[in-house]
Amino acid sequence: MHNTKNTTMLTLQNAQHALNVHASANVNAVTLNAQAISNVLASKASTFASIVYVTQVATSAKHKHVNIQKVTKANVQLFNTNFAYAQAVQKSASAISANNTSNVQAFTAQANYFTHTNCYSIVKHNTSNALYLYTSFNNAKSIYFINNVQATKQQVAQYLTASASAKLLQNDNNVVHNATHNVLHTVNVRTIALANIVSIVANKQHISV
């Protein structure tokens, strides 16, 4: 762990490096250290961070032997203490005129498949006990690879199911629709498996596998 400023964008070279690091970590069964993350976040209730992670893209059954991976670099907010998700959604939703005011006021957070640990942004899967990073996304850029060769979204889409293809090719939109309450908002919370994360830069510190 060392001090650094991570101001570079996600380039092809950086993405290929992330793939290699991730592959090596998987072979050696190494994941990002949860305690190290907690230590970095301990000085603040919340902090902005840059994360790089690799995910496997699920293909349709007939293309199951095609290896598609996505490398993402995202600017996120991480939390050491409680993040008032429901209140954040209500505040965001209140600024969207298409929402019904009663629906916004009635919004509550639903039960999740995970439990927050002492460090709020480290969560544990309720069944598998796998650890995830709980994040609030601000923006992100991704590069796709088909069998380790850079590919466009259009090229990737042909190997997916119809619904997954349509979702991939839709225009990027940061508005989230909560179907349960029929509320639109822009609070984009995601959980990322620690096993998929290559590096985190937060509070001028760099953690990597």
* pLDDT, tens digit (0-9, with 9 covering 90-100), for 5-45: 444 589 999 999 999 999 999 998 899 999 999 999 998 99
Does residue 101 fall inside a structural domain?
no
Give the structural domain span for 55: 2-80+119-173+188-208
pLDDT band at 121 (very low <50, low <70, confident <90, very high): very high
CB of 51 within 8 A of CB of 76?
A: yes
Distance CA 103, CA 184 (A): 10
In a domain? residue 94: no
Residue 126 resides in a domain: yes
**Residue 5 has what pLDDT?**
40
Number of domains observed in the structure of the chain: 1
Helix/strand number for the chain, H first, E second: 6, 12
Burial of 39: CB neighbours in 10 Å, binned 0-12, 13-18, 19+: middle
In a domain, 100, yes or no: no
Structure pTM? Answer: 0.90
Give the Cα separation of 72 and 53 in Å (integer).
Answer: 5
55 within some domain:
yes
Instruction: List, for residues 34-79, the tens digit of each pLDDT value.
Output: 999 999 999 899 999 999 999 999 999 999 999 999 999 999 999 9
In a domain, 192, yes or no: yes
> What percentage of residues in the chain have a pLDDT greater than 70?
95
Rounded to the nearest angstrom, the gap between the alpha carbon of residue 87 and the centroid of all alpha carbons in its chain is 21
Q: Is residue 108 part of a domain?
A: no
Of 8, 1, 71, the closest CA to residue 37 belongs to: 1
Determine, yes or no, domain membership for 87.
Answer: no
